[in-house]
Structure 1
């Protein structure tokens, strides 16, 4: 069975677009993958189209050979959007191969270690603050944060992750604090007292709403430098944190932070390829390595997870996309022995479920693994057409309300 055609499709996903690869074989089997082009990665679709010229006519089962050939062809400019495009093609090949064999993708990865996967509610309060037009009810004050904390517990989730927000003088009208992404534009990335005070208020409200009975995760992204991260960690030392997520370009700096942190540290969601992860493993820079399988490719991500295991580090997938990405990450999570927990977004846009043939089944805070062939879901092309993608202005999701 050989690759006959590779296409990219996209649709409106509210404040962003979803992007997909559709790989058709000469036997009529279709493999799918989901990728992201909006969050700092413009042009992935164009790279996929260009790389496809080297993939057409190749055996679907030879995904490792295909990946190696594509790497050789792009070695002078390896990484970045090229790596993302290669991963998108690899993931579609895996889906097609598994469907041809009549097995779930996790069977290609060595079989599942677990039947259900603990998930945490990601962007808890975040989406309802940043994107109130799409996620209801909108959160406008600390009472709204308490309410979603209670909702997390009521719906059976045992863990939730949130971000940093700045409230006005009346402790209302929160706004996302993301200087690492230019919101606000403050390239020095200094952390002042106001940021620390607001962070404490926000975390206290979320914990209070949940009755103190959920594991709390905090994502700091690239929003500080070493000094600032340490200030934040000292400020929240009295909280019982499941982890604090930190992005840093320096494994040495991250290792320095981890050795002084009162909380477990997770990191690495923006890294591409095993070679980029290795310095962080050697430095023992984090407690949990976050792997983005849409960006790395699920097959390549298994190699990263294996290396993490050899360094006594557990892994967790980065997952803030559509339902297809959730299932791609679920197959990875089902197969790796050293899984910590899986990220997923519970707040969804109104038409999310229409876009896919099957949606993830989550019971008591756990994703139940299906045994359907391939990823176990695929895009509904008619639904994609009914929600055409937005045009320009989505780089780094700059069109969101600020």
Structure 2
């Protein structure tokens, strides 16, 4: 078996682009991965093309050997788009290898620990504030709408949800995300009493709608500095959140925050590889390690999870992409013993399902691990090409 062709495809998904890597072998096996060039990874497709060109004619099955070689070749510029490019290639090669053997990808790593994965409804309310017309869902314009959304989460069987900072105190609903330079805020990313009150009311509305037993997660992203994270986490403690998600590139600062607050801290979605996670684990900086399997590749993600396990830390995948990425994250979640919960976007562009021949099965707030070979979710190439587009 040899790699005959490597191709990238891109589809218009409303406010973002879905990107896919297709690896075809000389005996007709097709392996897929999904990656994201959005949110700070501009140019990733060009990096994938440059790195992958040398693999045409190569046997795709020794995946560990190939990824080790690619990491060695990019050693002087680690992380970032190089790591994401290698991850996209790795994930597609794992799909090829598993399909060639007629097994699921997780079987390559000892088989699943679990077949049914609890989910939390991610970006709950966020897309209904920012893109309701593209999602085809009712807009969220008030705290009463937040309560109604909480009731919808409960009615659809989800036991947990995660929201971003949504404000309803200035007239129109607004997403507060200065850490990503959105909304016109400056680089100082400070917190004030008005903001803590707004978030307190937001979580109170979700709690009223979703119920006392619902798991509430708050994603603070990169939106504050150390002092601001402490103030915000303390302001919402009475809502008993499952975790506060914080992104920081300073492990000692995150460890300091964790010591100052009662709410568990989840972090890591922007970290690369075992070397990226090690100082955070060694500093005792997180209660849950968030691992992006699309950015790191499944094989590397499993190594991160094994390292976290040695520090008595559970892991959860960072997953806000399309259905194939959900399947990739599901194989990670199924294979590790120290799994916490899996992220999924319920709201998305209205036509998301068109891009996949067999979207994952979700019932009662749980994802059922696909049963087909490889990832178990196949890309509808014709539909992707019909909506071809890149941003």
TM-score, with structure 2 as normaliser: 0.98
Aligned to 2:177: 178
CA positional deviation for 1:26: 1.1
Aligned to 2:164: 163
Whether contact under 8 Å (1:113, 1:334) holds in the other structure is yes
Distance 1:348 1:177 in 2: 20
> Are residues 1:28 and 2:14 paired?
no
DSSP 3-state at the match of 1:118: strand
CA positional deviation for 1:90: 0.2
Farther off after superposition, 179-188 or 121-130:
179-188
Structure 1 segment 295-374 matched on structure 2, within 5 A: 295-374=295-374
Distance 1:222 1:139 in 2: 24
**1:8-66 Cα shifts (integer Å, max 9, x gaps):** 00001011000000000111100000000011101111011101122122211111111
Aligned to 1:395: none
Aligned to 1:398: none
Distance 1:338 1:72 in 2: 29
Which consecutive aligned stretches of 4+ in structure 1 deviate over 6 angstroms post-superposition? none
Whether contact under 8 Å (1:153, 1:213) holds in the other structure is no
DSSP 3-state at the match of 1:95: helix
**1:204-262 Cα shifts (integer Å, max 9, x gaps):** 11111113231100000000000000000111121111111000111000011111111
Aligned to 2:226: 226
DSSP 3-state at the match of 1:388: coil
CA positional deviation for 1:348: 2.4
Whether contact under 8 Å (1:161, 1:218) holds in the other structure is yes
DSSP 3-state at the match of 1:377: coil
CA positional deviation for 1:390: 4.3
CA positional deviation for 1:71: 1.2
Distance 1:12 1:76 in 2: 34
Whether contact under 8 Å (2:9, 2:388) holds in the other structure is no
Distance 1:115 1:168 in 2: 43
Whether contact under 8 Å (1:3, 1:25) holds in the other structure is yes
Distance 2:169 2:245 in 1: 25
Whether contact under 8 Å (2:267, 2:289) holds in the other structure is yes
Distance 1:188 1:75 in 2: 33
Number of equivalenced pairs: 389
Structure 1 segment 81-96 matched on structure 2, within 5 A: 81-96=81-96
Aligned to 2:132: 132
DSSP 3-state at the match of 2:389: coil
Distance 1:29 1:386 in 2: 23
Distance 1:106 1:211 in 2: 35
Distance 1:53 1:142 in 2: 51
DSSP 3-state at the match of 1:134: helix
> Are residues 1:383 and 2:354 paired?
no
Whether contact under 8 Å (1:54, 1:70) holds in the other structure is no
Distance 2:138 2:386 in 1: 25
> Are residues 1:210 and 2:183 paired?
no
DSSP 3-state at the match of 1:133: helix
Structure 1 segment 10-21 matched on structure 2, within 5 A: 10-21=10-21
Distance 2:78 2:237 in 1: 40
Distance 2:370 2:377 in 1: 10
Aligned to 1:103: 103
Structure 1 segment 44-55 matched on structure 2, within 5 A: 44-55=44-55
DSSP 3-state at the match of 2:38: coil
**1:41-96 Cα shifts (integer Å, max 9, x gaps):** 01111011101122122211111111111111111112110110000000000000
Distance 1:97 1:144 in 2: 47
